[in-house]
Amino acid sequence: MHQLSRRGFFKGVGAAALAATAVPAAVAPARAAPTSFSKVVDLTHALPEDFPTFFGQPQLEIENVYKFDKDGFNLNIWHLNEHTGTHMDAPIHFSKDGQTADQVEVEKLVVPIVVIDVKAKAAEDPDYRLTPDDIAAWESANGDLPDGCCVAMNSGWDAHVKSDMFRNADGDGVMHFPGFHAEAADMMIKDRNVIGMAVDTLSLDHGASKDFKTHYTWLPSGRWGMECIANLDAIPATGATLVVGSPKIVGATGGPSRLIALI
């Protein structure tokens, strides 16, 4: 399993056309006032070897090398695809020279998190894409998106994590799960100051996407994404703070992250 099958999902996906779009990276605002919390909530899925993956093949192998009974201690080596479980997409994942995971400034890892609930729409249409209208409707109900926030899509998909419905692949292998519309990404870059985009599915783009337009809009702009976020029902639509425990491995294009919400 150490060689992922290169199934050509992304071949010739317009990389050249989009690579040239050099947008200044998002800026984390200075903290105007102290942030306060009295409760912590884990937004991270447990990650076993058989966690569902975008590519459909296992992406984690745990090799046990020391065992307590024999060696006096336990220790493993992981063989791990960076984009597995609840994990970060760093800007470099879909850009030629964007930030690697270790380069994302710590100020961008402790941010307000807002949750946009599209569960009803996603239940009706698994190819649903969160739109600018969904953001506008959220703002009508909750006020403007906070400066420097992470916007999380709650499609209800984390309830499917232990079944085939999480990938929801049809007979041709095309997956059907919700994601962000590229126009929503564009709005969050140009008309708001959003730093992170989180989805409770396997991809920022909806599963059936052929062009990964949301990835190519969002990540090269210097912002991070988070896929397979869990437990969004446990935090409010606005008011929580997200702490992103992303890896600081040099050169990483992302990686499994511990997401903790402070409420």
Q: Which residues are catalytic?
A: 93
* 155: its two tokens: 């499609």
- Answer for which of 36, 140, 141, 172 binds its own copies (CB under 8 A) is 36
Alpha-carbon 239 to chain mean position: 20
Question: How far lies 250's CA from each of 13, 28, 110, 117, in Å?
Answer: 27, 22, 20, 35
Q: Quick check: 250 binds its own copies (CB under 8 A)?
A: yes
For the bound state, the minimum distance from the C-beta of residue 243 to its own copies, rounded and expressed in Å, comes to 5
Q: Applying CB under 8 A, does 11 fall inside the site for its own copies?
A: yes
Q: Which amino acid is at 69?
A: D
Question: What's the closest the beta carbon of residue 47 comes to its own copies, in angstroms?
Answer: 5
Which residue among 22, 40, 120, 136 contacts its own copies (CB under 8 A)? Answer: 40
Size of the site for its own copies (CB under 8 A): 79
Q: Is 15 in the site for its own copies (CB under 8 A)?
A: yes
Chain position carrying tokens 């409420």: 263
Return the residues of window 204-243 that contact its own copies according to CB under 8 A. 212, 215, 243
Three-state DSSP string of 169-219: ECCCCCECCCEECHHHHHHHHHCCCEEEEEECCCCCCCCCCCCCHHHHHHH
Of residues 92 and 118, the one with the C-beta less far from its own copies: 92
Of 37-45, 118-126, 139-147, 193-201: span binding its own copies (CB under 8 A): 37-45
d(CA 228, CA 122): 16
Binding mask 43-82 for its own copies (x = CB under 8 A): -xxxxxx----------x-xx-xx-xx-xxxxxxxxxxxx
Q: Which of 261, 223, 244, 226 is nearest to 35 (CA)?
A: 261
The C-alpha atoms of residue 119 and residue 134 are separated, in whole angstroms, by 12
- Minimum distance, C-beta of residue 212 to its own copies, in the bound complex (Å): 8
- Give the H/E segment covering residue 115: strand 110-117
| d(C-alpha 231, C-alpha 228), whole Å | 10
Residues 254 and 220: their CA atoms lie apart, in Å, by: 14
Q: How far is the CB of 138 from its own copies (least distance, A)?
A: 26
Q: Residue 126 or 247: which CB sits closer to its own copies?
A: 247
Residue 99 found at the interface with its own copies (CB under 8 A)? no
Site membership for its own copies, residue 162 (CB under 8 A): no
Binding its own copies (rule: CB under 8 A), the pick from 159, 169, 237, 262 is 262
d(CA 54, CA 51): 10
Q: Nearer to its own copies by C-beta: 83 or 129?
A: 83
CB of 56 to its own copies, least distance (A): 15
HSE (side-chain half, CA atoms, 13 Å) at 106: 1
